[in-house]
Amino acid sequence: MDALVQLTWRVYDILDDAARAHDLSTSQLRLLGILRDREPEMLELAGHLGVDKSSVSGLVDRAAARGLVERVPSATDRRRIAVRLTEAGRAQREILETEIYTAIDRAGLTLPPGARSTVTP
Amino acid sequence: MDALVQLTWRVYDILDDAARAHDLSTSQLRLLGILRDREPEMLELAGHLGVDKSSVSGLVDRAAARGLVERVPSATDRRRIAVRLTEAGRAQREILETEIYTAIDRAGLTLPPGARSTVTP
DNA sequence: TATTGTTATACTCTATAACTATA
DNA sequence: TATAGTTATAGAGTATAACAATA
């Protein structure tokens, strides 16, 4: 049980290092990961990230300022705004993914095949 | 491989929720965990946390202000300062541990026995 | 001179509360 | 009135650089 928490910190450190190497935060990294196969609106995004909607505004602002994501206004409800990766954001995410997997592998932190189904319902 | 990163975020959220419920941050939570069976000096603590020594000063300041940890000056080298849990800090950490394990269990996130040795060298 | 720790400064991330625009 | 999103504000966490005290 403690092993799971220790594992979490070790992987978290790897994620943080990888993000930092590209001058990104773990929150920005997580944002890119969530947007890989989604185009959520701000509130929905807040739910995925587990933070308040007001925090998402700033998070998306900074990611957009770096050209990684863009806001997409809804055609039917002018209050709603979706967020999606730009091409640059998609490329950045893929680079990070590769580096992270390499680092995880190098650290010898691979879940055995049997654990995967247990762990990702 | 992706499963490991997803698992990390899920456990990280559980840790964050548990810390928040006691008005603590994940960094403070991690600090308490590290000090469970150690009495490191500031630089050593920075190494464990993976942050700069200047960040540790503030982290320990805030934890000390809440009575969770205390600074212990070295008897032989007056530059060095060790950090240890107070009794209150030890109690707080144990409460958090229980709550975290309960939450992890409730989320169905248990590593199968075979994974443990793989994962914590 | 080198090392340990703190301080000054600036930025990101976060929540709460108040606000705007739209429904 | 209710909802989606932003802004204002305050606090924590972080790094860099400069500093103080000690070795």
With a pLDDT cut of 70, the percent of chain B lying above it is 90
Give chain A's mean pLDDT.
93
- Chain A positions with Cβ closer than 8 Å to B: 1, 3-9, 11-13, 15-16, 30, 33, 50, 100-101, 104, 108-112, 114-116, 118-121
Q: What is the mean pLDDT of residues B36-64?
A: 98
Residue where the block lists tokens 């947007």: A35
Count other C-beta atoms under 10 Å from residue A86's C-beta. Answer: 16
B109·A119 Cβ contact <8 A: yes
Closest partner CB to A100 (pick from B5, B15, B114): B5
Closest CA to C8 C1' — which residue?
Answer: B54
CA nearest A111: which of B103, B15, B11? Answer: B11
CB-based contacts of B107, cutoff 8 Å, min separation 6: B10, B14
Q: Is the pLDDT assigned to residue A121 strictly greater than 70? A: no
Poorest-pLDDT segment among A13-22, A32-41, A66-75, A110-119: A110-119
Say how far apart CA A121 and CA B21 lie, in whole Å: 26
A12·B16 Cβ contact <8 A: no
Q: Beta strand pairing status for B69-73 and B81-85?
A: antiparallel
Rounded to two decimals, what is the model's pTM?
Answer: 0.93
pLDDT at A110: 76
B5·A11 Cβ contact <8 A: yes
CA distance B76 to chain A (A): 33
Q: Where are the alpha helices (DSSP H) in chain A?
A: 2-21, 26-34, 42-49, 53-65, 87-106, 113-119
pLDDT at B115: 56
pLDDT tens profile A11-53:
999 999 999 999 999 999 999 999 999 999 999 999 999 999 9
Q: Which of A2, A4, A49, A52 to mutate to test the interface with B (most CBs of B within 10 A)?
A: A4
Closest partner CB to B116 (pick from A3, A8, A110): A3
